[in-house]
Amino acid sequence: MSQRIKQFIFLGLMVLGIFTTPVSAEGIKIKSFELERIDSDWFLNAAFQIELSPGLEDAVQKGVVLYFQTDFDLSRSRWYWFDEKPLLAHRQTRLSYQPLTQQYRIASEGFTFSAKSLSEALQAVGSVGGWRVIDGGQVDASKTYTAGLRMNLDLSKLPKPFQVNALNNRDWNVSSDWLYFPFSPSGSNFIKR
């Protein structure tokens, strides 16, 4: 092989190496979830792993309040029309930093919690327990549904200047992928770990 071809191959591998560098680990991942049946209702217990970019961590430290939204949706395919969507449930969790007490504050549906570190606060934000997502009267026990679950940072709740920044900065778009799974109301508890 000539020297020129070797240089071309080496240059090509370097360029390929630049574009295949590992992506940062920031974001939200679903670690586990469980749909638990109590009487005729279904309750969701889930754990999300949340990792913020340095820019978001800095924003929280400087007083920007972050709102995380957990979405649960239930649908049923129909061959003759659009999918039936019997329910879509949202739950919002608020994360803020209190500089006087040097603690993080988490608030969700009347529940408040204080944490000394950001990692402890993010663990609390990512823990969803006892959330009633399905009322027994909303589903037909003889049918099979598709359930979906995700969590994301609600950019619409940020102050306006940060919303503009979030549109231009991928680090601020923190979201898990939708996780879809089959759900049958006549079945027992559904668990994924």
The span from the first CA to the last CA of the chain, in angstroms, equals 53
Domain residue limits, the chain: 25-192
- Quick one: which of 64, 50, 59, 37 has its CA closest to 134? 37
Cα separation, 146 vs 151, whole angstroms: 17
Is the Cβ–Cβ distance between 173 and 158 less than 8 Å? no
Which residue's entry shows tokens 């670690």?
Answer: 31
At residue 190, the pLDDT reads 60
Count the helix, strand and coil residues of the chain and give each as a percent rounded to the nearest 5: 25, 45, 30
Choice between 192 and 193, residue whose per-residue pLDDT is larger: 192
pTM of the entire predicted model: 0.79
At residue 16, the pLDDT reads 38
Cα separation, 60 vs 36, whole angstroms: 34
At residue 189, the pLDDT reads 57
> What would the two tokens of residue 162 be?
């940060």
| pLDDT score of 14 more than 60 | no
Average pLDDT for 18-47 = 77
At residue 12, the pLDDT reads 40
Cα separation, 89 vs 73, whole angstroms: 6
- Model confidence over 144-175: pLDDT tens digits? 889 999 999 998 888 877 777 777 777 788 89
Q: Which of 65-69, 114-118, 147-151, 180-184 has the lowest mean pLDDT?
A: 180-184
